[in-house]
Structure 1
Amino acid sequence: MASQNNLTISELFRSKTLKNQLPRRVTKVAGQTYWELGKIGNNLNQITKAINTSVLMGEPIVVNRTLLEQIRDMVKQVRREITEIDLIGDLQD
């Protein structure tokens, strides 16, 4: 079981005795995708801030804020799914 999950015997033993899930090995592609999606999310936040600033200054801007927010939320969701983060578990800890 340890070799099938690319774990040491110690890691498998700790996982099984502590009744935790086996640790997930994140591939390089998943890690890089997670990183790039984070950068996209940051860019979306900067775009949103620039739009809000322009609106406050009275500059006319046409933007579909709902679509922008949906894209931001989808990026966050994909990042969570890539790493299989259990948000409820994180909130409880």
Structure 2
Amino acid sequence: METNSTIMEENLMKFSSILASKTSNGFVVVERNDKLPYAVLLKKKKKVDHFFNFVIFCATLGLWSIAWIYITQVSSKAKKILIAIDEDGNPFEEKCYMG
């Protein structure tokens, strides 16, 4: 049977690997607690070049409008997520409210 400290170390290593993968995707750690373990990550808002998208919109006779709307409404918004390990040792990710 594994000891409690060994299980905690494995969970912390799992948690750290998840954080490393998220930070490599552009997220920044806002808050972190290794005792529980949980972390709040933030991905900043991207600026949309509307002039460039308008040129593509005109060149494709309006077909680019679907992608342009998606870029403007979904992809460019700031994202805040919570990553944690529950009491069973399973990692989970949850979106945070950006009031």
- Which structure's residues are more often helix, by fraction? 1
Asked whether the two chains share a fold, i.e. TM above 0.5, the reply is: no
TM bin, normalised by shorter chain, reads 0.3 to 0.5
The normalised TM-score by structure 2 is: 0.33
